[in-house]
Structure 1
Amino acid sequence: MRGIRQIISMLPKILTDSLKLAFTILGGIGIVVGFTSFSLDCIGKLPAQIGAVTLVYVVLVIGTIYIKRKLTKNQVTLNIRGMKVIVKEGDIFSANGWKLIPFNEYFDTQVDDIIIAHNSLNGKYIDSLSDDEKEALKLAIATDNRSPLKRYESADGAKTRYELGTIKVFQDVMMLALTHFNEQNEAHTNRAEYENTLRKMWKEINRTYQGKPINIPLIGGGLTRLDDMTDKPNEQLLRCILCTLRTSNVTFDENVQISIILTKKALETINLYELKGEK
């Protein structure tokens, strides 16, 4: 049933593309038949010949849809202003290269299901560190002030708040200030801020990446609250990530692979084939 639902959800674009490709293939078959002097007379009269050609065309369309769906079920490769971007299912923690992990504007590291949830992406990341690494992480956050984006000291100097979009680096992780943090310990932003943060994020990644592969999760998914959105369609978030790369005026080395890594659960709600038109 899941496979059928996916095919149905992909029909608009995949059907159009398959109809065109099948017609091209059928035309090629016609040319070959013409050169070989093969005749359809053996099939019978004209209605039977038309039926045979129609049947071949339908089989070609169905076969093309199946192959296209198979090839884009778990991964699709896009070209965004000449940059190779791969959208795929996977585990960001096992990816090779930089791993981008969203944090709040204070870069908090307290995983207690109050400040940071254990099942959030940054919670899982911090929980994976040893005690010594956690101390090194805190030091890196406190001392990595290379970003040109603004930071704000609290009145008592105890805490520093960073402009959304700021990236700090520790080991092979890029930590992104994605959300505000309110008195109810809620990480939140809104759609306009989210888009602006992503544009600044791409510039910060460009400042930091040093030619290494870049791996990004579905930013804004999970526990992040978008104040002016009652729901957060995963495909809409993904399109926004791609759109902000396109409009950021940032260019990465053509040999650098940019991967947007989706969980299996997120992928079930995203039609990867529909992304193939992204440029």
Structure 2
Amino acid sequence: MKQAKVFLSHFLIAIGTISACIGAFSWLGGSGYSTKNQIIVGICILFIGVVYAWFQMRPSKSIQILINDSFPLQVEFGDLFEKKGVVVISVNEYFDTIVDNKIIATETIHGKFIDRLFKGRIPELDNKIRKALNNVIAEDASNRVIGKKKRYPLGTCAVIEEGENTYILTALTKFDANNHASIPLSEYGAIIQRIILTAATVANSRPVYIPLLGSGQGGIQKSAQKILSYMISQIEFCPDVSIPKGLHIVVYDSGNKNVNLDNIKSAWLSTVK
């Protein structure tokens, strides 16, 4: 019903604009139309109105939201691993590097990051992570059977360089004794704040790309649309830092049927009026 009203609104705007132009032309000296010509013109107006309304109703592929004056926030569909600049990668609290569909699933961002960028180079990745976390106090987990033996606080960021990009590996998920991942909602906002602070430090004149946090395996048990809305609301309350080239939330293309960016922007605008 809401979409029908929006479509009708766009349709009437187009009809009104075209009709006004034709009326002005006639008033300025255009000759009267025959009945046949009036019908043809009427059909053309209706056709153009429908096309315009349909065009306006197409789902947006990206939107921009003005969170504050420090950085623009862009939400877009795409592939995180095709972006150039500073890229945030969500990982587990151990910063594991074993992609076996037990510790790390191949279809998660964590798994794709390792397989796409460091396949066959795991020791090199481990060394980069170890250096990045050298000054971070970790909890001993020596009784863990598989995987790394140090547990880091959620929100811990390991900044590593690879190729043209800077990657911020961020501890997002906790593991239980059976390696089942979960995200404590109470810590979600603090995690995002730490990511933003870290990104602002390393971004310089580069854009920052961040995935939809919490929508994957073991994530927040809500729809992608609700998670995106919640994520934006948390970003709003982040410290006043500067990211001149903007923060981009990248929603993976294959999941875009569950996310409507126009609804996200409309909801945001309604809250800031």
Flag whether TM exceeds 0.5 (same fold).
yes
Task: Give the match for residue 136 of structure 1.
Answer: 124
1:98 to 1:266, Cα distance in 2 relative to 1, 3 A:
same
In the superposition, the TM-score normalised over structure 1's length comes to 0.74
Name the amino acid aligned to 2:234.
T
In the alignment, is residue 63 of structure 1 matched against residue 46 of structure 2?
no
> Which residue does the alignment assign to 1:11?
3
Structure 1: 5+ residue runs without aligned partners?
1-7
1:269 aligns with 2:258: yes
Equivalent residue number for residue 186 of structure 2: 192
Q: Deviations over 1:127-155 (max 9, x none)?
A: 23143x422221222222488xx733317
Change (3 A) 1:84 1:63: farther
In structure 2, distance between residues paired with 1:225 and 1:176: 14
TM-superposed CA distance for 1:246, in Å, is: 1.3
Cα pair 1:104 1:178 within 8 Å, conserved: yes
Which residue type is aligned with residue 88 of structure 2? L
* 1:40–1:116 CA distance, 2 compared to 1 (3 A): farther
Q: 1:93-242 residue pairs with structure 2 within 5 A?
A: 93-128=81-116, 129-131=118-120, 133-145=121-133, 151-154=137-140, 159-171=149-161, 172-226=166-220, 229=221, 232-242=222-232
Check 1:252–1:266 CA distance in 2 against 1; reply closer, same or farther (3 A cut).
farther
2 CA distance for matches of 1:165 and 1:61? 50
Q: Aligned partners of 1:109 and 1:247: how far apart in 2?
A: 32
Change in Cα spacing, 1:99 to 1:155, as seen in structure 2 (3 Å) is closer
Structure-1 separation of matches of 2:141 and 2:108: 30
Number of the residue aligned with 2:236: 246
TM-score under structure 2 normalisation? Answer: 0.76
Distance in 2 between the 1:241 and 1:167 partners? 18
Number of matched pairs: 253
| Distance in 2 separating the partners of 1:269 and 1:257 | 24
SS at match of 2:101: coil
The answer to whether the 8 Å contact 2:99/2:111 transfers is yes
Question: Residue 81 of structure 1 corresponds to which residue in structure 2?
Answer: 68
